[in-house]
């Protein structure tokens, strides 16, 4: 679901990347930032901006009233440890009272979730183990760590008092493009700046002190996951200690030349070693750092080389300095992303299928998609991947089927999976790092293809421990479905057009079980459940059903194809159904039992073209048919079929 996210500090280093990440993921963003250390150019073009201090309660209240955020992401802060020692009152003013303004407004305006940028480096104190986990009692060494700790405590209190959910991100040393190379913290940026300006890197002490450096893209990913993951405080680092000396070595490597170093007296109160244990974020948020320091440093150095270079060129020409601000591509991405995403419909958006007339039948809200089969017909392709993930051109069959169900108006889809099917779950999961990288690259088409997949709250899973037939797989959906009508889509079949939608419309009319049926040639009856019918088509009354009768013994030429709208009574019937053909519990047999017990069943003859993608030939044909529908492939493929294709055909 698209959120409305107020990002405080969204003109600063981390905050502006977070704002971009949220925009790229399709959310609406308003940046609130007084530009005391951020830059207006950092605010991504797709976001709104309010120039206000978080301590200004009236301005904060006005921003909440007009923007109505669902989520607040709080990155605005007094962020300097040394400044906090010098000016503890200012530090508490910004970091505690500023936060309180936001918390009050969040409660007043019904904000759903509060994401808070805290510190992992300055919170635990010098007595902490390395790496340190979240449950170590914090004992900050400076007012900055204490004001962040107070913030965390206030969030806990607001949760208990007002039910405000919060996710606290305890950052290690975040580094990356756009960090201030002139600041007093942010050693990666400072060293990159120094090397590029031909100055020496100043190391305080022996340089063997360590920090945990986490790339800003990884930090952004944690902010994306924080929108949904379980509330709590999470370390966001790498768990890896990197010494200052090691940083310099890496810089020499990427700079490809000498790097001058100067040593200065160690800074008092500086912690010797820091690394954060990130197990909790890994387990609960599904987050993991992806960018190793060496790679992130090389990338950051390249960014500074480009941007500081421009700045110096500007200085030489007597023009005002170009700040190392938002890179052009990043801003352009955000600008393009804003409107495009705001209007895009997702497959999960419900079309308006009218309520059943007369209010008799209950609407079908849930779908069950059996996906536990072994896929032996596609070996060796299906040895290590589920057959449902085989793509027609570039879209896995399971995705097409899920999209068909959602387009038919169902709200949730249960996938019945089994061993060796994890790729399906990964497919429908979020991929924040991938999304962020695609946004950074400006590949909006790929980004949209990844982002529009339905997921949380829509796709559900249950595992079938052993495949014992289609009826058995449908039974596995009993707990999810409960006592309501539901539909079943078989992932071996795809249709040109809304087959499931047509079956559900028929269900809405008759308020009883409806099976999608199609005519098949006599020699194919042994591949299908076949029905005997009476009445006028296309919606027939079913009078009998037989699973896979031998040719010549079928009651008609109407075969059940894989789209069913079922009354909940089918579950009871399936439990009473003995194993049938192939020793498996057959759905067709369960339906037959229902019919015998007096439940009406209808067969809707579907007009849509159908592809049996569970067969190799059907799969290849479906691939070609889909490719011919695609404007990007149509002409090239048609030309090939008419020339090379024809030649191959004649030769064979």
560 is an interface residue for ligand G1P by CB under 6 A = yes
**Which sequence positions are flagged as catalytic?**
144
Considering the complex, state which of residue 326 and residue 470 has its C-beta at the smaller distance from ligand G1P: 470
Per-residue x/- marks for ligand G1P, 190-229, CB under 6 A?
A: ----------------------------------------
Stretch that binds ligand G1P, among 45-53, 116-124, 188-196, 583-591 (CB under 6 A): 583-591
Tell me: does residue 470 bind ligand G1P (CB under 6 A). yes
CB of residue 407 vs ligand G1P: minimum separation in angstroms? 20
Q: Considering CB under 6 A, how many residues would be counted as binding ligand G1P?
A: 14
Q: Is 190 helix (H, G, I), strand (E, B) or coil?
A: helix
C-alpha to C-alpha distance for 518 and 525, rounded to whole angstroms: 11
- Burial degree of 264 (CB within 10 A; 0-12, 13-18, 19+): exposed
The token pair that represents 151 in the structure block: 């913030």
Reference 168, options 77, 214, 91, 230; nearest CA is 230
Identify whether the C-beta of residue 296 lies closer than 8 Å to the C-beta of residue 245.
Answer: no
Nearer to ligand G1P, 275 or 559 (CB): 559
The nearest distance, CB 377 to ligand G1P, in angstroms, is 11
559 binds ligand G1P (CB under 6 A): yes
CA dist 434 → 44, 159, 237, 437, 441 (Å): 19, 32, 19, 5, 10
Closest CA to 619 of 437, 446, 381: 381
Contact between 254 and ligand G1P per CB under 6 A: no
Q: How far apart are CA 603 and CA 609, in angstroms?
A: 17
- Name the residue nearer to ligand G1P (CB basis): 177 or 562: 562
Quote the least distance from Cβ 370 to ligand G1P, whole Å. 8
Closer CB to ligand G1P, residue 224 or residue 490?
490
277 or 493: CB nearest ligand G1P: 493
Distance of closest approach, residue 534 Cβ to ligand G1P, in angstroms: 20
Buried b (16+ CB within 10 A) or exposed e, 516-550: bbbebeeeebbebbbbbbeeeeebbbbeebbbbee
Q: How far is the CB of 454 from ligand G1P (least distance, A)?
A: 24
Identify whether the C-beta of residue 494 lies closer than 8 Å to the C-beta of residue 390.
no
Out of 3, 277, 435, 493, which residue is the one contacting ligand G1P (CB under 6 A)?
493
- Segment interacting with ligand G1P, rule: CB under 6 A, options 84-92, 421-429, 549-557, 581-589: 581-589
The Cα 531–Cα 525 span in angstroms is 10
Q: Does 34 bind ligand G1P (CB under 6 A)?
A: no
439 binds ligand G1P (CB under 6 A): no
Distance between CA 586 and CA 527 in Å, rounded? 13
Tell me which DSSP letter residue 94 carries. I
Q: Rule CB under 6 A: say whether 24 interacts with ligand G1P.
A: no
Closest to ligand G1P by CB, 372 vs 559, is 559
Judged by CB under 6 A, which stretch of 12-20, 160-168, 432-440, 584-592 contacts ligand G1P?
Answer: 584-592
Residue 263: its H or E element: strand 261-264
- Give the SS3 label for residue 30: strand
**Neighbouring-strand partners of residue 493:** 612
Q: Residue 600 CB, nearest distance to ligand G1P (Å)?
A: 19
Name the minimum Å distance from CB 485 to ligand G1P.
19
Find all residues with CB under 8 Å of 628, minimum gap 6, and list them: 634, 637, 638
Span near ligand G1P by CB under 6 A; candidates 556-564, 592-600, 621-629, 644-652: 556-564
Q: Is 490 in the site for ligand G1P (CB under 6 A)?
A: yes
Q: Provide the token pair at 181.
A: 């190379």
Out of 341, 528, 571, 611, name the contact with ligand G1P by CB under 6 A.
Answer: 528
CA atoms lying within 13 Å on the CB side of residue 614: 14
Nearest to ligand G1P of 94, 559 (CB atom): 559
**Angle at the Cα of 130 from the Cα atoms of 127 and 133, rounded to 5 degrees:** 90
Closest CA to 136 of 146, 147, 145, 125: 125
Q: Which stretch binds ligand G1P (CB under 6 A): 88-96, 300-308, 401-409, 486-494?
A: 486-494
Least separation, in Å, of the C-beta of 549 and ligand G1P? 11
Under the criterion CB under 6 A, does residue 562 sit at the interface with ligand G1P? Answer: yes
CB 489 within 8 A of CB 563: yes
- Give yes or no for residue 481 binding ligand G1P (CB under 6 A): no
The beta strand positions in 33-136, using DSSP E, are 48-50, 71-74, 113-119
Mark residues 322-361: x for contact with ligand G1P by CB under 6 A, - for none: ----------------------------------------
Q: Report the residue number, 304 or 528, with the smaller CB distance to ligand G1P.
A: 528
Closest distance between ligand G1P and the C-beta of residue 394, in Å?
Answer: 24
d(CA 169, CA 161): 21
User: Of the two residues 559 and 574, which places its CB atom closer to ligand G1P in the complex?
Assistant: 559
What single DSSP character describes residue 353? P
Q: Which residue's C-beta sits nearest to ligand G1P?
A: 529
Looking at the Cβ atoms of 413 and 470, the one nearer to ligand G1P is 470
**Does 388 participate in binding ligand G1P (rule CB under 6 A)?**
no
* Binding flags for ligand G1P, 585-624, as an x/- string (CB under 6 A): -xxx------------------------------------
Instruction: Show Cβ contacts of residue 331 under 8 Å, excluding neighbours closer than 6 positions.
Output: 41, 44, 45
How big is the CA angle at 582 (ends 578 and 585), to the nearest 5 degrees?
A: 35
Q: Find the shortest distance in angstroms from Cβ 561 to ligand G1P.
A: 5
In whole angstroms, how far apart are CA 592 and each of 361, 489, 519?
21, 19, 20
Would you say 105 or 591 has its CB closer to ligand G1P? 591
Which residue in the set 21, 193, 432, 529 belongs to the binding site for ligand G1P (CB under 6 A)? Answer: 529
Task: Pick the closer one to ligand G1P by CB: 291 or 371.
Answer: 371
Asked if 190 contacts 324 with a C-beta cutoff of 8 angstroms, the reply is no
- d(C-alpha 404, C-alpha 542), whole Å: 25
Contact 526, 550 (CB under 8 A): yes
* In the complex, minimum distance from the CB of residue 603 to ligand G1P, in angstroms, rounded to a whole number: 11
Contacts of 56 (CB under 8 A, 6+ apart): 101
Q: Shortest distance, CB of residue 365 to ligand G1P, whole angstroms?
A: 23
Instruction: Round to whole Å and give the CA distance between 39 and 325.
Output: 7
Q: Which stretch binds ligand G1P (CB under 6 A): 300-308, 479-487, 554-562, 629-637?
A: 554-562
Residue in 19, 17, 52, 48 with CA at minimum distance from that of residue 33: 52
Site residues, ligand G1P (CB under 6 A):
470, 490, 492-493, 528-529, 547, 559-562, 586-588
């Amino acid at each position: 679901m698209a959120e409305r996210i107020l990002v405080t500090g969204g003109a600063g280093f981390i905050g502006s990347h977070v704002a971009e990440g949220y925009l790229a993921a399709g959310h609406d963003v308003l940046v609130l930032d007084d530009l005391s250390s951020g830059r207006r150019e950092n605010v991504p073009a797709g976001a709104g901006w309010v120039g206000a201090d978080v301590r200004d309660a009236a301005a904060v209240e006005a921003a909440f009233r007009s923007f109505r955020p669902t989520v607040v992401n709080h990155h605005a802060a007094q962020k300097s440890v040394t400044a906090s020692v010098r000016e503890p009152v200012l530090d508490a003013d910004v970091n505690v009272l500023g936060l309180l303004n936001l918390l009050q407004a969040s409660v007043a305006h019904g904000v759903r979730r509060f994401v808070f940028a805290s510190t992992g480096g300055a919170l635990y104190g010098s007595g902490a183990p390395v790496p340190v986990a979240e449950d170590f009692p914090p004992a900050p060494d400076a007012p900055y760590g204490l004001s962040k700790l107070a913030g965390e405590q206030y969030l806990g209190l607001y949760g208990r008092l007002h039910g405000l959910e919060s996710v606290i991100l305890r950052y290690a040393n975040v580094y990356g493009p756009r960090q201030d190379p002139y600041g007093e913290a942010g050693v990666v940026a400072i060293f990159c700046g120094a090397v590029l300006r031909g100055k020496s890197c100043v190391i305080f002490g022996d340089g063997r002190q360590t920090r945990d450096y986490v790339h800003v893209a990884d930090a952004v990913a944690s902010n994306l996951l924080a929108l949904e993951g379980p509330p709590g405080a999470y370390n966001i680092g790498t768990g890896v200690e990197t010494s200052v000396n090691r940083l310099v070595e890496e810089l020499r490597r990427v700079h490809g030349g000498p790097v001058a170093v100067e040593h200065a007296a160690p800074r008092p109160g500086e912690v010797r070693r820091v690394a954060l244990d990130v197990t909790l974020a890994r387990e609960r948020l599904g987050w993991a750092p992806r960018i190793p320091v060496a790679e992130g440093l090389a990338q950051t150095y390249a960014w500074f080389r480009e941007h500081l270079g421009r700045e110096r060129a500007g200085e030489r020409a007597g023009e005002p300095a170009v700040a190392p601000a938002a890179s052009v591509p990043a801003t352009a991405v955000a600008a393009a992303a804003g409107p495009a995403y705001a209007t895009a419909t997702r497959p999960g958006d419900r079309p308006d299928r009218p309520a059943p007339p007369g209010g008799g039948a209950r609407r079908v809200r849930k779908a069950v998609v059996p996906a536990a089969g072994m896929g032996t017909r596609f070996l060796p392709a299906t040895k290590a991947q589920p057959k449902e993930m085989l793509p027609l051109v570039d879209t896995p069959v399971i995705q097409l089927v899920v999209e068909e169900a959602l387009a038919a108006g169902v709200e949730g889809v249960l996938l019945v999976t089994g061993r060796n099917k994890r790729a399906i779950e990964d497919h429908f999961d979020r991929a924040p790092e991938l999304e962020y990288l695609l946004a950074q690259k400006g590949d909006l088409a790929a980004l949209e293809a990844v982002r529009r997949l339905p997921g949380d709250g829509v796709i559900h899973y249950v595992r079938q421990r052993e495949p014992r037939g289609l009826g058995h797989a449908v039974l596995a959906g009993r707990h999810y479905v409960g006592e309501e009508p539901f539909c079943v889509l078989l992932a071996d079949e795809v249709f040109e057009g809304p087959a499931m939608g047509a079956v559900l419309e028929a269900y809405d009319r008759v308020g009883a079980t409806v099976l999608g049926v199609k005519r098949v040639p006599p020699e194919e009856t042994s591949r299908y459940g076949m029905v005997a019918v009476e009445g006028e088509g296309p919606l027939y009354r079913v009078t009998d059903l037989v699973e896979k009768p031998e040719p010549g013994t079928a009651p008609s030429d109407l075969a059940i194809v894989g789209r069913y709208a079922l009354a909940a009574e089918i579950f009871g019937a399936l439990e009473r159904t003995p194993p049938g053909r192939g020793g498996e519990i057959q759905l067709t047999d369960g339906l037959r039992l229902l019919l015998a017990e007096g439940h009406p069943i209808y067969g809707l003859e579907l007009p849509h073209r159908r592809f049996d993608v569970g067969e190799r030939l059907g799969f290849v044909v479906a691939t070609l048919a889909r490719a011919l529908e695609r404007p990007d492939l149509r002409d090239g493929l048609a030309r090939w079929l008419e020339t090379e294709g024809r030649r191959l055909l004649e030769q064979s």
